[in-house]
Structure 1
Amino acid sequence: MGTWDTGPFDNDSAADWCGALHDADPALRPELVRHALTVTAETTGYLDDHEACAAVAAAAIVASTLPGGTPITSHYAPAFLTEGGTIAFSEDFAPLAVRALTRVVGENSEWFDLWTEDGADSPDEAFAAIADLRKVLLPATVDKDQQALPL
């Protein structure tokens, strides 16, 4: 993993995925985000770091659109977002993002393995970044009748 910091966009895989999202037809962007989240959430075998990093970036983008979400400012995020653009997401994106993040920090995840191996720089900060995203996304997994949406 070519990583230079602990944020959701601070690695080669996320930056590459963000570049592809930026270059995509705006009408297709929500489905590209959904795809990144779904691939990770539904992986049953060993989760490759590239998919995990794309899902973390996608989850950060979804979280940025929710109350309490952090605006996208990273130079490695899709430029259209840092320039004031947006993506509209349906309400099923937040639960999907939570499922993907849960998979990223779970067993059989290269992302998890790389951050927990001896010598990894700032693993606590990397896990805190995921926890911060989950804090924003989790309230959006409750519907208007206060019943939890399926995760």
Structure 2
Amino acid sequence: MGAWSGEPFGNDAAADWASELDSLTDWGAVRAALTAAAGVPDLDADAASCAIAAAETVAHGIGKPTQNDAYTDSVHSFVERAGRPDDMLVALAISGLAAATSAGSELTELWEEDDPEEWRTANEALRDALERA
């Protein structure tokens, strides 16, 4: 899995996805990552990691980030260029996050074998931030 924390950008797939934001100026890639996850009952681990990272990016866009560290530097720069996400993207972020953390998600299965409480706590904080938008 290549994870060092349960935070949204605490794994290789999410960190790689975030680096792609460096050249982007709109929410298209974020929307694509969330759309690829939303409603998928058996999401693979990398797609789930990217969806969670995309949801955190939306949280940054609405001024309610749950992770602020060196791993989110590209997110800050992206949000400055892209502006605030619309309400439809916030709703999609909630749906994508739900799929990524569902019982059928491969990422959920992997975390259940490791330290699920840290991961669950981080995702609950993200869900709460998005729902307060």
Flag whether TM exceeds 0.5 (same fold): yes
After superposition, residues 91-110 of structure 1 pair within 5 angstroms as 91-110=87-106
Question: % of aligned pairs identical?
Answer: 33
Taking structure 1 as the reference length, the TM-score comes to: 0.78
Higher-Rg structure is 1
- Residue type of the alignment partner of 1:39: A
Q: In the alignment, is residue 77 of structure 1 matched against residue 72 of structure 2? A: yes
Q: CA deviation at 1:78?
A: 4.9
Cα RMSD (Å)? 2.1
**Equivalents in 2 of 1:70, 1:137: separation in Å?**
9
Residue segments in structure 2 that go unaligned for 5+ positions in a row: none
**Who is 1:56 aligned against?**
52
Give unpaired runs (5+ residues) of structure 1: 141-151
CA drift of 1:84 comes to 7.8
Aligned to 1:136: 129
* Partner of residue 13, structure 2: 13
Contact 2:60–2:76 at 8 Å: present in 1 too? no
What is the CA distance between 1:93 and its match in structure 2? Answer: 1.0
Structure 1 moving runs of 4+ over 6 Å: none
Which of 118, 121, 125 is the matching residue for 2:118? 125
CA distance in 2, matches of 1:36, 1:74: 22
Larger RCO (CA within 8 A; separation ≥ 6): 2
Q: Distance in 1 between matches of 2:79 and 2:93?
A: 22
Q: Which moved more, 1:129-138 or 1:70-79?
A: 70-79
Q: CA deviation at 1:94?
A: 1.1
CA shift at 1:92, angstroms?
0.5
Number of residue pairs the alignment of both structures matches? 132
- Name the CA shift for 1:5/1:82 in 2 (closer, same or farther; >3 Å): farther
Shift of 1:91: 1.2
TM-score, length basis structure 2? 0.87
